[in-house]
Structure formats: structure tokens, C-alpha cells
Structure 1
Amino acid sequence: MAARASALKPLATLGRLCSGGRASCAAARAFSCAAARSQLRRVTGTGGGALTGTVDRFGGVTVDLADAGLPGDISEGAFSRLLHDSLAAWKAEGKVAVWLRVPISLSRCAAAAAAHGFTFHHAKRRHAVLALWLGDGESRLPGFATHQVGVAGAVVDESNGKVLVVQDRNKTKNAWKFPGGLSDPGENIGATAVREVFEETGVRSEFRSLLSIRQQHDLPGAFGASDLYIVCRLGPLSYDIDFCTHECSRCEWLQLAELAETANTTPVTSRVARLLLRGLERGFGDIDLPLEELRAVYSGAFYQLYQRQLER
């Protein structure tokens, strides 16, 4: 009860101030501003009244509101004033951009940020990222999610010249194609091909090389993003088919020669089939783009390079 009474004191004080005339209302506004400043001080943990963030090498600041210590019940107005002070500080420091990561639980802060010129950059399941260009001239901030990456696996049995193909259940035309699907964030191309082949057909395989890349724009269902479709050559580790009936209507080991000539396939599939036939006849060294993993110069991480090997 004592805690509740303490919490009600500011409201009671504000009510008494507002019950008097013009002077009392002015006092009420002053009390409200003081309360807002007090809330901001609790937010930042300092008397500075500004958000803190991580500075990147391009002169931008990234602020994650989930880690900013904001009260869960912070009002849109209080956050707007906090952001106003923060933007003034960042401009004075010469920062060129601000990235604001807003968790869905604080989505009301997005409206306050929009009033200061922020726009949506991208969103994921539990947060949205807003951006504001502070530098001179037109915004030079990069866009987001310009492409999606689809990967297919051509699993070739070199002992008999057959390749694993499927017919999609959700297509209007039952054409033969290589099993595949969209690559997950942070997933290597070869890993996507191996995973998708197993999920669709039940056949285990291993990555051998990259064969071809198709680029397409305005693909239906891609939410306005362009599409990259990559076909990989895989080697089989098992042969028994146990295909996913939710995604596929048929799945077979088909002769490459038949796949290359049939009209019951896609243009990409028939061309890759002819490419694989050439590999069987003359060796895959003429068609493969093998994988080489190299150390990244600036990050200490690694990246994957797909490139034809030069003769030594």
C-alpha cells in the first residue's frame, strides 16, 4: 500500500495544479516536463538525455532499443524527446547516418522516429530497422533484400549416366526439374543444395561444384526482390528415393540423355543436362566451378570462391 501511495503522489500533485487557474496550468506543464526529463534520465542512466549506440566504420550509428534500457511503458512523446536530443548530439559529432532497431514490443517508437524523418529500411520477425541519413546531399544508405537465392542440386550417378529429378506438386505444368529451394540466411550454396535434395527426395548427396546461375527479375512471390537460381553438381551418397509428397508429385532417376532431349522439362534443366552430358564424356573439369574457401582480408572470417582452376 505504501508503494502504491507513493506512485500516486505525482498524479495527485498534477491534479491539484490543474484545478487552479492559468498559473496553476502553467505549473502543471512545468511539472509534466520535469516528469518527462526524469523519465529520460532513467532511460539513459546518465544526465545526458541521449541514446547510445555502436559507431560503424562508415560514420553511422546503430542503436538497438532492446538494449537501450528504455522503460517498457515509455511513451511516444518521451521517446521523441530523447531521440531529438540524441540526433542533435550525433549531428554535432559529424555522424552521417542513424540505424534504429525497434523491437516489436516498442513499435510505438517507430511512429516517433518517423516524425524525425526516419523511414523503414527492413523488418524481420521480432524487430524493424529504421534509417535516417544525416550527411550532405542525397542519401547514400544501401538498400536491403534486393535478391533471393534459390539453389538446385543435380545429383549425377556417373556409373549409369542418370540424374535425380522431380516434378513439383504446386506447378501448373508437370515439368522435370532438379530438386531445390531457397537458401537460408548464412547458409552456403552447396549446403543448401544438399539439404534441399534430401528434404525433397530422401537421397543423401555431397557437393561437387557450381554449374550455372540464372538471374530473373519481377519473379512472382519474391516480394519485389530479384531472383538468383543456382544449379550445383552433387554426387550421390544414397540412391533409394523417399520423396516428399507435399512438395513433389513425382521423383525419378532419369537418363541425362533423355532429360536433355525431352520437351517435358524447363529450359534451364535441359541446358544443364546437356552440360552434364559433356562432363560425362570429357570430364567435369571442363564444366565445373569448384569451391575454394579463402580467408577474408578485413574481417578475419572466411568466404567461398567458385572459380575454374587454372592449369599449373
Structure 2
Amino acid sequence: MEISNGEQKSSSLHSKSLLSSGKKPCRKEISVATPYTSITITNELLDAYEDEYDGVVIDSQSLPLSANAFTTILQSSLSSWKLEGKKGVWLKILEKQADLVPVALKQGFSYHHAEPGYVMLTYWIPEEPCFLPSTATHQIGVGGFVINESKEVLVVKEKKCPLRCSGMWKLPTGLINKSEEIFSGVVREVKEETGIETAFLEVVAFRHAHQVAFDKSDLFFVCMLKPLTFKISIDESEIQDAKWMALEEFSNQPFQQEDKLLKNITGLCVARYQNKYQGFTAQRMMSKFDDRLTYLYHGYCM
């Protein structure tokens, strides 16, 4: 019997542009010739593209619906990528594909992170420590110090807060949304809670804390804002009340005086208002490192 090997495709990897074009996954083919016929055996691999860590990212849109089919194609793909010297494998499974998660876990994948609509799994191929980056470790919060020409500070009283600060008048605060800038996030939060339109001036200070929410770390940026409107309209779902409060009355609240962090934050904001302190402004610029437009927060050289 004479057997000849046909041409084998070297990889199932495609660029992101090929993924978006809707092309079918690559297949490795072996042609077997006999005196009577020629048979082509097709070994399908998952569609994927290369990542930044000498590994691959699997296209979630190419995953089979059947758990059995997924098991077979996943095993073949992992074997192929191992032979090619790939290291890490990223597998994003959409909510509608949730039945495939146990299959991937049985093949050695690990949870990386989850977001609404999907879970991300990873697989490390080499027999060496994994150097894939971990998931996000921080949440980002903002607080707006808004003071008018009458030296009154915009303050709110939240409906839900720890008992130790119940009834306290505080600055409007909140969390930054995904892909939102610090300066636009703080303007949005102030608007949502109080109805006051503002303009961002500077980042006055920031606090870095750990084990804050879901074992995550927290960055909290205190920003100086200029009021553009003055009529208050509260978000009744979150805020019990809001008002313009005399700066001295705000600073002299017992909780403000007893909490060293809050006392220092207020002192810095007042110093900025009096032009005795300079914070960080935001300047938009391009970086050749990653070809992205971004914002650099900085002070000014004297």
C-alpha cells in the first residue's frame, strides 16, 4: 500500500480582521491514497488569533454549540498550539454558551474574570510559571468639590451609608463607568446626584486603599469643579437631600474634624480655591507606544 501525505496547514491562527470577515475556521487535512480511492481526513481547529504573550485568543463566535463537539475540537486545538510552541490560551465564553464552561474546566482551563454577558478562561501550556496578566484589581471612585462665589459647598446626604457617618453632609461621590475619563465621570456623578452642571478644573488629590469592595483595591480621586448652574434637583433613588452649605459649617462637622483623611481633603480643596495649591489638570495627547489618544494628568513647572 502506498501512502502519501498531503499538504498540512500550519496553523488555525488568523488576524482579527479575518475573524470579523466571518471566514470559517481553518482545518488540518491529511490525504490518504489507496489503490482504490483517496480519502481526506479533516481535523478542525478553533478559530483564533495571536495575542501579545506568544499565545492565542479563541474567537468566541466560532465555538460549536454541542459540548461533545467542543470537547473534540478543543482537545485538537490545544494539541496543535502546543506543537506550535504557543503559551497562553484565552477563551471567552458568552452567556448563551454557558454549557461549554464545564467542558473547558475539565480540559484544564481556569477562571480569569467575568463581566455581564461572558466569562473569560485561560489555559497555560508550558511547564513553567504562568505570566499571563491577572484581571483588574482596582475600582475607581471620584468626589466633586464644588464651591460657589458665596463660599458655599455643594453637599449631599445619602440615603444609604454606614451608621458611623449617618446624617453626615458629604461631597457628591460615585464610581467611574467602564471606559470613562476621571474628569467626565466626576462631572456626571455631580449632575446625577444634584442636578448641578459643572466644569472640571483639577484633580486635587487621590486616595489609594485596599480590600475595599469584593477584595478589590480602590482609587478615589477628589476633583475641583466649577459650578455652571445652581438650582439643585436630587436623585431621590440615592440621595436623601442636597444643598449649598457654608464652607465653615461643612468643615466644622464633627465627622469632618475627627476623620484625618476627610479633614486633609477639605483643607487641600480650600487651599486650591484660595489659589494656594495646585492640582493636576488633564491634557489630551497621543502616545506612539500604543497609538492611543489618552489624557495625562499633571501640574505645571514653575
TM-score bracket for the superposition, by shorter chain length? 0.7 to 0.9
The CA deviation at 1:78 is 2.1
Whether the 8 Å contact between 1:275 and 1:287 is mirrored in structure 2 is: no
State the partner residue of 1:161: 151
Does 1:122 find its partner at 2:117? no
The RMSD of aligned alpha carbons is 1.8
**For the residues of structure 1 that align with 2:139 and 2:64, how far apart are their CA atoms?**
37
Aligned to 1:62: 57
Within a 5 Å distance, the mapping from 1:169-208 to structure 2 comes to 169-171=159-161, 172=163, 173-208=166-201
The aligned amino acid for 2:283 is E
Percent identical among aligned pairs is 30
Q: Give the letter for the 2:168 counterpart.
A: A
Quick one: distance in 2 between partners of 1:242 and 1:190?
21
Deviant stretches of 4+, over 4 Å: none
1:71 positional shift: 4.2
Query: What's the secondary structure of 2:237's corresponding residue?
Result: coil
More helix by share: 1
Compute the displacement of 1:135 (Å). 3.0
Q: 2:47 aligns with which of 47, 52, 59?
A: 52
**TM-score, normalization by structure 1:** 0.78
**Aligned-pair distance for 1:140?**
1.2
Q: For 2:49 and 2:197, locate their aligned partners in 1 and report how far apart those are by CA, in whole Å.
A: 44
Q: Structure 1 residues 71 and 118, CA, compared in 2 at 3 Å: closer, same or farther?
A: closer
Structure 1: gaps (5+ residues): 1-42
Asked if 1:258 corresponds to 2:249, the answer is yes
- Structure-2 separation of matches of 1:263 and 1:160: 23
Paired residues for 1:1-312 under 5 Å: 44=25, 46=27, 47-65=42-60, 67-68=61-62, 70-72=63-65, 74=66, 76-157=67-148, 159-171=149-161, 172=163, 173-219=166-212, 222-265=213-256, 267-281=260-274, 283=275, 286-311=277-302
CA distance in 2: counterparts of 1:140 and 1:45, whole angstroms:
28
> Could you give the per-residue CA deviations for residues 145-182 of structure 1, whole angstroms, max 9, x where no partner exists?
3111111111122x222211111110121222110211
Deviates more, 1:298-307 or 1:257-266: 257-266
Return the offset for 1:44.
3.9
**Aligned pairs, how many?**
260
The range that moved more, 90-99 or 249-258, is 249-258
Q: Structure 2: give runs of 5+ residues left out of the alignment.
A: 1-23, 28-41
Give 1:291 deviation, angstroms. Answer: 1.1
Contact 2:199-2:226 at 8 Å conserved across structures: yes
Instruction: Work out the CA distance in 1 between the residues paired with 2:291 and 2:217.
Output: 30
